[in-house]
Amino acid sequence: MYKRISFIASVLLLGCCTVTIPSVAQAQVLVSQAKNSQLKETLEEGRRLVDAGDYNGAIAVYQRAASLDPKNAKIHSGIGYLYAQQGNYQSALASYRRAIAIDPNNSDFYYAVGYIKGNLGDTAGAKEAYRKAIQLNRNHVNAYIGLGVTQARLGDYEAAMWAYDQAISLNKNNAQTYEFMASMYKQRRQIKQANTVLQKARLLYQKQNDMDGVARVDAMLRELGG
């Protein structure tokens, strides 16, 4: 039901730099954990609709599944994921809040809230959600990146740099981290630093055979005169 989403998906008003919502559940896991045959059949129907690209139909089916198992946080988060995929961020936020009410210690749910609030223009709220995700999971690389993005947008570049450094310490081969850092340096008109980290990002994208990433970096380098 929920394929791993590409990291680059939704613009947070930082040039080419973006943050995405995480995939929060696998259909087969939900189905295998179904408490009764009716719920299992409903979840399987929802999975088929998602695979067919019918998100409206899938949402309706998963809402029915939620009525059958109202304390299943993953079903609510799955509904939130589908709403977010449609760009319906208010409904997505409501669904993730229901998921958090059931499972308040799930860092991915808070990360999703950060993503959604960022898309709603609530940068301060996004920052707090990313911070909560990190409190719950100190190894959440994407939450550190999201925190870096929001801190940079709020003008707290020292805090943004700390967040990016934490992300790099956890995964030094994540090209997106360097791409975000370059955007921050660009905001500050630190062209030399931006060029340096963009070259690092470009090399990593090449190694990953991510031509879209390479193209984005090349466009930024041209804009910076690098």
Per-residue pLDDT of 30-70, as tens digits, reads 544 556 788 888 888 888 888 888 999 999 999 999 999 89
Q: Is 13 helix (H, G, I), strand (E, B) or coil?
A: strand
pLDDT value at residue 34: 56
| pLDDT above 90: percentage of residues in the chain | 71
CA atoms of 173 and 211, how far apart (whole Å): 16
pLDDT at 171: 96
Between 134 and 29, whose confidence is greater?
A: 134
* Number of CB atoms found within 10 A of residue 184's CB: 23
Residue 11, beta-bridge partner list: 18
Chain segment 101-150, per-residue pLDDT in tens:
999 999 999 999 999 999 999 999 999 999 999 999 999 999 999 999 99
Task: Tell me which of 31-35, 95-99, 116-120, 183-187 is least confident.
Answer: 31-35
Through-space distance between the first and last CA atoms of the chain, rounded to whole angstroms = 42
Predicted model pTM: 0.84
Cα 197 to Cα 105, 152, 176, 191: the distances in Å are 34, 16, 10, 10
3-state SS string for 140-170: CHHHHHHHHHHHHHCCCHHHHHHHHHHHHHH
- CA 209 from chain center: how many Å? 21
pLDDT of residue 109: 94
**Range with the lowest mean pLDDT among 32-36, 79-83, 143-147, 169-173?**
32-36
